[in-house]
């Protein structure tokens, strides 16, 4: 039983992982594929870089932000004949859902290191939660594939079931409540987007940004490892620089590198440090 103190110096209590790009779907490709198809059907040429810019946000908000980009907005007016409004966002979101479901169903492979991390956390008595910009229906498409691989987090929180999605702290705080956490300082939020890191910081948690498997690099596992060593090192260095702008406490290649970070956070907690 954890005790409440003026300054938390107890053990690490929980790790809260983002889903796509952090522990599943190397490269976070499922949402990108869906967004590109969605806008193509509207006669709008959306680049992958543009599609990735709002990543981490709830998907309806993601669509809203894409439509607000000057280049996309201009194309939309030329193709549809009017300025995009809330009714357009609603219509696009409904059209997006089946595209996203199909893409998610194809990309449920765990990122290397996810199962070893789960085993390590269980051995150490640390809780495991996940949260996502996906809706509950989207997550329900993904979960059977994760469970079949043996991955079973104790709390699954989605953006559409809290008052505000990222960068608000609500999802991480809901995870903490569901996991029975007594101090947010004993929690670690791991994410591949700057928005997700901001969520963890706003929740008062330690934050760890992952680079290789996520939005900052945006390549499938096959594409990433097909690069020669120099190219891979260059892309990783750029990704590290970009994710460092999120003010994450740590920036690592992937969750395979997380255990050593958790050990370091554990030591820092014991010496009265807080996030």
CATH number of the domain enclosing 84: 1.10.150.240
Out of 78, 106, 134, a domain closes at: 106
Does 200 reside within a domain? yes
Give residue 222's pLDDT: 96
Give the count of beta carbons closer than 10 Å to the beta carbon of residue 105.
14
Does 81 reside within a domain? yes
- Is the domain of 233 the same as that of 116? yes
- Selecting among 25, 59, 189, 192, the annotated active-site residue is 59
* Cβ(209)–Cβ(191) below 8 Å: yes
Q: Which helix (H) or strand (E) holds 57?
A: none
Q: Which residues of the chain have pLDDT under 70?
A: 1-6
- Is the domain of 122 the same as that of 45? no
The packing angle between helices 194-202 and 229-244, to 10°, is 40
* Cβ(146)–Cβ(111) below 8 Å: no
Determine the structural domain holding residue 42 and report its residue range. 30-106
- Selecting among 18, 25, 191, 192, the annotated active-site residue is 18
Give the count of beta carbons closer than 10 Å to the beta carbon of residue 195.
21
* CATH code assigned at 130: 3.40.50.1000
18 is catalytic: yes
Out of 88, 106, 124, a domain closes at: 106
- Is the domain of 91 the same as that of 203? no
Candidates 40, 2, 89, 16; CA nearest to 255 is: 16
Query: Which of 140-179 are b and which e, b meaning 16 or more Cβ less than 10 Å from the residue's Cβ?
Result: ebbbebbeeeebebebbbbbbebeebbbbbbbbbbbbeeb
- Is the domain of 93 the same as that of 189? no
- Is the domain of 164 the same as that of 250? yes
Does 9 reside within a domain? no
Give residue 63's pLDDT: 96
Give residue 7's pLDDT: 79
pTM above 0.85, yes or no: yes
- Is the domain of 68 the same as that of 93? yes
Does 4 reside within a domain? no
Phi then psi for residue 157, to 5 deg, are: -115, 135
Out of 54, 76, 106, a domain closes at: 106
- Is the domain of 93 the same as that of 38? yes
Residue 199 to residues 17, 102, 139, 163, Cα–Cα distance (Å):
12, 28, 19, 13
Handedness of CA 226, 236, 47, 97 (dihedral sign): positive
37 is catalytic: no
- Is the domain of 68 the same as that of 135? no
- Is the domain of 64 the same as that of 164? no
Contacts of 102 (CB under 8 A, 6+ apart): 34
Contacts of 29 (CB under 8 A, 6+ apart): 103, 107, 218, 220
CA distance 83 to 72: 11
- Is the domain of 24 the same as that of 42? no
């Amino acid at each position: 039983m954890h005790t409440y103190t003026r300054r938390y110096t107890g053990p690490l209590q929980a790790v809260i992982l983002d889903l796509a790009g952090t522990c599943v779907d190397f490269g976070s490709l499922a949402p990108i594929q869906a967004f590109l198809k969605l806008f193509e059907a509207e006669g709008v040429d959306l680049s992958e870089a543009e599609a990735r810019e709002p990543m981490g946000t709830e998907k309806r908000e993601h669509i809203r932000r894409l439509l607000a980009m000057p280049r996309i907005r201009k194309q939309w007016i030329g193709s549809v004949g009017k300025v995009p409004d809330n009714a357009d966002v609603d219509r696009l979101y409904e059209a997006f859902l089946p595209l996203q479901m199909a893409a998610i169903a194809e990309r449920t492979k765990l990122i290397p290191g996810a199962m070893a991390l789960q085993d390590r956390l269980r051995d150490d008595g640390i809780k495991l939660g996940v949260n996502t910009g996906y809706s509950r229906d989207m997550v329900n498409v993904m979960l059977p594939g994760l469970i079949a691989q043996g991955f079973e987090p104790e709390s699954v929180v989605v953006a559409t079931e809290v008052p505000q999605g990222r960068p608000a702290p609500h999802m991480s705080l809901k995870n903490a409540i569901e996991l029975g956490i007594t101090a947010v300082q004993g929690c670690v939020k791991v994410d591949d987007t700057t928005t997700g890191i901001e969520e963890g910081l706003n929740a008062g948690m330690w934050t760890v940004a992952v680079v290789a498997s996520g939005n900052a690099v945006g390549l499938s596992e096959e594409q990433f490892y097909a690069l020669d060593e120099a190219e891979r090192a260059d892309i990783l260095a750029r990704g590290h620089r970009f994710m460092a702008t999120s003010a994450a406490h740590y920036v690592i290649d992937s969750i395979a590198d997380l255990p050593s970070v958790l050990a370091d956070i554990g030591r820092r907690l014991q010496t009265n440090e807080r996030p």
